[in-house]
C-alpha cells in the first residue's frame, strides 16, 4: 500500500505521503510519496552519475535490457492491465490493449538500439574540403527528464524510456499524480531486466511543486513532456537552452466526403470518439460529413454509440468508465450546456451516471463553442455537415491544434489535396485521426506541440549529432 521512490537503484521511503484513489469508486488504492527538493536532487545527481555507465554500454547490451523489459511485461501483462484499471479507470479491454502496445514499443526500442548511427559526409565536395574525410556519429545527450500524463501511463512512458535508453541516456521520470503505480511497476521491471543503478529514477509528487526543479536543473539536457498546453508552454519558457519535446493536446477532426460503407465508418467514429471516454489526445472530437450523407451518418453513429457498455472498468464488458477526475465531468457537462443553449442538439447521451459520463453526440455545434474549439478530452463528439470540399478543409484547419486528421474519400485527388492542405502532424486517409502504431512518427503542429515521438524519431531527438573531420 505504501509506495517508495526509486532513486539510484534503491527503493526509498518518502518523508510525506498522499492517498491515491481509484477514479471509478474513489477507494484508496495506495499511499504515494511526495518527493521533496532533496529527493529530486538525489534523483538528478544519480542520473547524472549513471550517464557515464549508460553511455559505455554497447548497443547490444542496451538492446538486451529493452528486450528483457518487453518480455517481462508480456509475462505480467494481466497484472499491468489491472494497475491501469485501478489507477486510471481504464476499462479492462482498453487496458489490455495498452499493455500489448507497450510490449511492442519496448521491442521497437530494443531493435532501434542496434541501428543508431551517423553517416559519411562528402566534405571534399567543397573547395576547401580536399584531402579530408568527414562523418557524423550520434551520441547520447545525458540526463533526460520525462514528464508523463495520466492517459496512457505505460505506453507513453515506454515512448520516453525506450528510446532514451536505446540511445544510452539516463532518465528522471515524473509520472502524473493520478498514475504513479504504473511508473513504479515499470521501474521494478527495468530493475529486474538489469538496467544499471541510477539510469532510471522515479519521483512522484505534484508537477507544479517539483516540476520547476527538473526543468531548470543544468545537468538535465532534455525535457520530454506529454500533457496539456499550459503546462507544456510553462516548461518551454523555463527550460532555457535544453532540448524540449512537447506532445500536447488536440481537438482532432475527421472529414467524411465519400465512402463505400457508411455504417462501418460510423462504427469506427464511435470507437475513436469514445475509446477511454475520449481521454485520448487523438480522440475523434469533430466530424464533418458531406451534406448528403449527414442524416444517415448521424443515425448510424448514434446506433453504434448506444451499444457501448458503461460501468466498472474491471468488467470485461465495459467500454466506458469514469473520467479521471470528478471536476472533468463537471467541465464536460458545462461545455455541453453552453452548446445546447447556443442552438446545438444532443442526439444521444448528455448525462452522467454516477462517476461515468454517457457518450454524447452533438449536432449543429458552432465553431466557436468550447466543445468544438477547445480540447474536450471527454466522451463528447460534434458532428456537422459541410457543402463543399474547400469548406471541409477550412473547418478542420480552423483550430489552434494540429495533431492528426482523418479523411474518408474514394477520390484519390482529394486524398492527396488533403495531405497537402491539412495543417496537422499526421494525415490518416480512409480512417479516423486516432490511428496510431508505435513506430510511426507522431507529433503535432500549432498548439499540439513540437518534436516527434515514435521510437526511431525520439531517438533522433534524444541524441546529439557530432561531426568528425579527418585531414588525410
- Gap between the Cα atoms of 398 and 391, Å rounded: 10
**Nearer residue to ligand NAP within complex by CB, 199 or 229:** 229
Say if CB 181 and CB 327 are below 8 A apart.
Answer: no
Say if CB 404 and CB 250 are below 8 A apart.
Answer: yes
Collect all residues with Cβ–Cβ distance below 8 Å to 7 and sequence separation of at least 6: 39, 42, 43, 46, 201, 202, 203
Concatenate the DSSP letters of all residues of 154-221 into one string.
THHHHHHHHHHHHTT-EEEEE--TT-HHHHHHHHHHHHHTTPPTTSEEE--S-HHHHHHHHHH-TTEE
Q: Is 207 in the site for ligand NAP (CB under 6 A)?
A: yes
Residue 382 main-chain phi, psi, to 5 deg: -110, 140
DSSP, collapsed to helix, strand or coil, labels residue 34 as: coil
Q: Is 430 in the site for ligand NAP (CB under 6 A)?
A: no
Q: Is 42 in the site for ligand NAP (CB under 6 A)?
A: no
Q: Is 247 in the site for ligand NAP (CB under 6 A)?
A: yes
Q: How many helices (H) and strands (E) does the chain have?
A: 15, 24
Among 377, 386, 389, 408, binds ligand NAP (CB under 6 A): 377
Residues between 252 and 311 that touch ligand NAP (CB under 6 A): 281
> Which residue stretches of 248-293 are H helix?
262-274
Q: Is 114 in the site for ligand NAP (CB under 6 A)?
A: no
Among 148, 182, 201, 305, binds ligand NAP (CB under 6 A): 148
Among 23, 249, 378, 451, binds ligand NAP (CB under 6 A): 249
Collect all residues with Cβ–Cβ distance below 8 Å to 443 and sequence separation of at least 6: 245, 247, 403, 425, 449, 450, 451, 452, 453, 454, 457
Number of residues that bind ligand NAP (CB under 6 A): 28
**Nearer residue to ligand NAP within complex by CB, 95 or 281:** 281
CB under 6 A: which stretch of 74-82, 231-239, 355-363, 379-387 binds ligand NAP?
A: 231-239
What is the closest distance, in whole angstroms, from the C-beta atom of residue 433 to ligand NAP in the complex? Answer: 12
Q: Is 211 in the site for ligand NAP (CB under 6 A)?
A: yes
What is the closest distance, in whole angstroms, from the C-beta atom of residue 294 to ligand NAP in the complex? Answer: 28
Q: Is 425 in the site for ligand NAP (CB under 6 A)?
A: no
Q: Is 455 in the site for ligand NAP (CB under 6 A)?
A: no
Chain residues that interact with ligand NAP, rule: CB under 6 A: 147-151, 156, 174-177, 206-208, 211, 226-228, 231, 234-235, 247-249, 281, 375, 377, 403, 449
Amino acid at each position: 500500500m505504501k509506495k517508495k521512490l526509486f532513486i539510484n537503484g534503491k527503493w526509498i521511503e518518502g518523508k510525506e505521503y498522499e492517498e491515491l484513489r481509484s477514479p471509478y469508486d474513489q477507494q484508496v488504492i495506495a499511499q504515494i510519496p511526495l518527493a521533496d527538493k532533496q529527493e529530486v536532487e538525489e534523483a538528478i545527481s544519480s542520473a547524472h552519475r549513471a550517464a557515464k555507465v549508460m553511455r559505455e554500454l554497447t548497443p547490444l547490451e542496451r538492446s538486451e535490457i529493452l528486450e528483457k523489459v518487453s518480455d517481462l511485461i508480456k509475462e505480467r501483462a494481466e497484472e499491468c492491465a489491472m494497475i491501469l484499471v485501478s489507477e486510471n479507470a481504464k476499462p479492462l479491454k482498453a487496458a489490455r490493449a495498452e499493455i500489448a502496445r507497450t510490449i511492442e514499443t519496448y521491442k521497437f526500442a530494443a531493435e532501434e538500439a542496434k541501428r543508431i548511427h551517423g553517416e559519411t559526409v562528402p566534405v571534399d565536395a567543397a573547395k576547401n574540403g580536399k584531402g579530408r574525410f568527414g562523418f557524423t556519429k550520434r551520441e547520447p545527450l545525458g540526463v533526460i527528464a520525462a514528464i508523463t500524463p495520466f492517459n496512457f501511463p505505460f505506453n507513453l512512458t515506454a515512448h520516453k524510456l525506450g528510446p532514451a535508453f536505446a540511445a544510452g541516456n539516463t532518465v528522471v521520470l515524473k509520472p502524473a499524480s493520478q498514475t504513479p503505480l504504473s511508473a513504479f511497476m515499470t521501474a521494478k521491471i527495468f530493475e529486474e531486466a538489469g538496467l544499471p543503478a541510477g539510469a532510471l529514477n522515479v519521483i512522484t509528487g505534484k508537477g507544479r511543486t517539483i516540476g520547476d526543479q527538473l526543468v531548470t536543473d543544468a545537468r538535465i539536457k532534455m525535457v520530454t513532456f506529454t500533457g496539456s498546453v499550459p503546462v507544456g508552454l510553462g516548461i518551454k519558457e523555463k527550460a532555457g537552452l535544453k532540448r524540449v519535446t512537447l506532445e500536447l493536446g488536440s481537438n482532432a477532426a475527421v472529414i467524411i466526403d465519400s465512402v463505400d460503407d457508411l455504417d462501418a465508418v460510423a462504427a469506427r467514429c464511435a470507437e475513436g470518439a469514445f475509446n477511454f471516454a475520449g481521454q485520448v489526445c487523438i480522440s475523434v472530437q469533430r466530424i464533418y460529413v458531406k451534406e448528403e450523407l449527414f442524416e444517415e451518418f448521424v443515425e448510424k453513429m448514434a446506433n453504434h454509440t448506444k451499444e457501448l457498455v458503461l460501468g466498472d472498468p474491471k468488467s470485461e464488458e465495459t467500454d466506458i468508465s469514469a473520467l479521471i477526475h470528478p471536476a472533468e465531468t463537471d467541465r464536460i457537462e458545462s461545455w455541453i450546456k453552453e452548446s445546447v443553449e447556443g442552438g446545438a442538439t444532443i442526439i444521444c447521451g448528455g448525462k452522467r451516471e454516477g462517476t461515468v459520463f454517457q457518450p454524447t453526440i452533438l449536432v449543429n455545434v458552432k465553431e466557436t463553442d468550447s466543445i468544438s474549439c477547445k480540447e474536450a478530452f471527454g466522451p463528447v463528439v460534434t458532428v456537422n455537415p459541410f457543402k463543399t470540399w474547400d469548406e471541409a478543409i477550412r473547418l478542420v484547419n480552423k483550430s489552434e491544434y494540429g495533431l492528426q486528421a482523418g479523411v474518408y474519400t474514394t477520390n484519390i485527388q482529394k486524398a492527396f489535396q488533403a495531405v497537402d492542405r491539412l495543417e496537422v502532424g499526421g494525415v490518416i486517409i480512409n480512417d479516423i485521426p486516432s490511428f496510431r502504431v508505435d513506430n510511426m512518427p507522431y507529433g503535432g503542429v500549432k498548439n499540439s506541440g513540437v518534436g516527434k515521438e515514435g521510437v526511431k524519431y525520439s531517438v533522433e531527438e534524444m541524441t546529439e549529432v557530432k561531426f568528425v573531420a579527418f585531414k588525410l
